Structure 1
Amino acid sequence: MTTRWGILATGKIAHTFARDLDLVPDAELVAVGSRRAESAAAFTAEHGGTPYGSYEELVADPAVDVVYVATPHALHLENARLCFEAGKHVLCEKPLTLDAAAAEEMVRLARQHDRFLMEAMWTACHPAVLALRDRLRSGELGTPRHLHAELGFRVDAPPEDRMLNPALGASALLDMGIYPLAFADLMLGEAVDLHATAALSADGIDLDVAMVGRYPGDVLATMTASMTSWSSRRASIATDLGRIEVDDFHHPSRTTFTPYVQAPGDWVFEPGATTEITHDPVVGQGYAHEIVEVGRCLEAGLRESPAVPHARTLAVLRQMDAVREQVGVRFPTAQG
């Protein structure tokens, strides 16, 4: 079965997605929609497909099975609604919406129209992340006691850019912080308790945020996100047997485990031999794996992905709602 894709919007992430889509044998880009006809034409000249100068024309194309929604966060709900009403399945960029209330509405619409919906949390489909999760769950790496993950980069953009415009959902938490929260959720389960602090801009958006969470089994996690500074992009998990290190959990390529072994003397431990946690090859930039997952689900007649279930998406969004409330950030277009 070949899954026929449409892409809604033509920004940077849409280009990255299209390049990985081209690497998936059973997926085909058939149409692209933009608010400007010239933008759609330029996109399809590079990646293929039929260009449309409006989103309405894109979703009306009978050749499109599923639409990848790549607009700013604040527009996701109305864009997904348009797709569902046209009978299209949806893969929607993360976060699914600005808040959990809007995400619940999107899930309701998908069920009402009997359409597939998945948040594009591509790390949940990434071979390196899945291999680590499975090894951690097996117990062979020990019992996790603390997780740390950080993601940040300096944003230099005009105030009207989506990265800094509150009306479009500008937020270090929503753009970067969702990744450490989702990583912790994948590795440890749903957070039991979460606390945060943040540095806000003059417009009231969070530029830097730090979070500490307690997870099942009293495992602790510390997580940071930033739009003002360059983080290591690393993640680590300390267990009672050793340390797990992920070189770049946002785009992981190498994950290692270092056991700590008894050394001569009382209460003296030292690192043993580091081993690499092997995983299946990563295709492209990693987005290909979520594309494969969507195709697999559609072929099986599923309406949500077991890898990225609606419940997990909603749980992480509720966590972000709680963080925003604690740090005093409210979007003008948010429902909650």
Structure 2
Amino acid sequence: MMKRIAAGEIGDVVQVIASFGKAAEHVERLVRKDTGGGATLDMGIYTVQFATLVMGGDKPLKVLAGGHLNKEGVDVVASASLVYPKGRTASLSTTIRADLPSEAFVVGTKGTIKVSYPMWCPESFESPSGTYTAPLPVTGQTYNFNNSQGLMYEAAEVRRCINAGLLESPGMSHGESITIAEVMEQMRAQMGVI
């Protein structure tokens, strides 16, 4: 997808739209403050990371967020608008109360890229030049979410970096990780999560 964007296929990026939501309030660790629960930290990170990736690691100029907390003060529904330099924005939604489409869109001045469900670990995306697929290995195991076996690529990259003596992955810098954490913390603060 990033190669298609870099090639100018959709023109200048104007908007990112991403959602990730699953009916998961029955999962105790997600609804409790003492276990670090909440939609933003658990699922929302994928939408924030997607926006950060598309925006080239840029920090948003402004984060506007709202949502709802459960009786323990944990966010169970969250939406955010991120305002970026160069006339770009992102609209992000996450929840542990219901199944959202869990897709992502990158809208440009010349076209749109649609990242198919599940956006956190997709096997395909559609762009003006066609549909691109990269099937994940079939493992026969059940995971928390669809396509979770795709997270093995993150684990392999961590191993590669450790073996190479690297302190960070060239594909995901510390700075980008900090940007993602700062955006999520701003979202949570604006919703009243303490």
Task: Provide TM-score, normalisation by structure 1.
Answer: 0.51
Partner of 2:152: 288
Partner of 2:80: 211
Mapping for residues 155-194 of structure 1, pairs under 5 Å: 155-157=24-26, 161-188=28-55, 189-190=57-58, 191-194=60-63
- Distance across 1 between alignment mates of 2:163 and 2:34: 37
Mapping for residues 55-70 of structure 1, pairs under 5 Å: none
Partner of 2:144: none
Note the residue ranges of structure 2 that are not aligned, 5 or more in a row.
Answer: 139-148
Q: What amino acid is aligned across from residue 3 of structure 2 in structure 1?
A: D
Asked if the contact 1:234/1:246 (under 8 Å) is kept, the reply is: yes
- Offset from partner CA, 1:213-266 (integer Å, 9 cap, x none): 1123121110000011110111011111111111121120110113xxxxxxxx
Partner of 1:327: 191
2:183 is the counterpart of 1:313: no
Asked if the contact 1:146/1:221 (under 8 Å) is kept, the reply is: yes
Asked if the contact 1:283/1:289 (under 8 Å) is kept, the reply is: no
- Distance across 2 between alignment mates of 1:196 and 1:151: 16
Match of 1:256 among 102, 121, 126: 126
- Relative to structure 1, the CA distance from residue 134 to residue 192 in structure 2 (aligned partners, 3 Å threshold; closer, same or farther) is farther
Q: Per the alignment, in what secondary structure is the counterpart of residue 162 of structure 2?
A: helix
Partner of 1:199: 68
Match of 2:16 among 124, 128, 147: 147
Mapping for residues 41-56 of structure 1, pairs under 5 Å: none
Asked if the contact 2:114/2:127 (under 8 Å) is kept, the reply is: yes
Report the RMSD for the aligned CA atoms in angstroms. 1.7
Asked if the contact 1:148/1:223 (under 8 Å) is kept, the reply is: yes
Asked if the contact 2:9/2:111 (under 8 Å) is kept, the reply is: no
Q: Per the alignment, in what secondary structure is the counterpart of residue 162 of structure 1?
A: helix
Asked if the contact 1:196/1:212 (under 8 Å) is kept, the reply is: yes
- Distance across 2 between alignment mates of 1:244 and 1:139: 12
- Distance across 2 between alignment mates of 1:192 and 1:146: 14
Note the residue ranges of structure 1 that are not aligned, 5 or more in a row.
Answer: 1-131, 259-273, 331-336
Mapping for residues 44-123 of structure 1, pairs under 5 Å: none
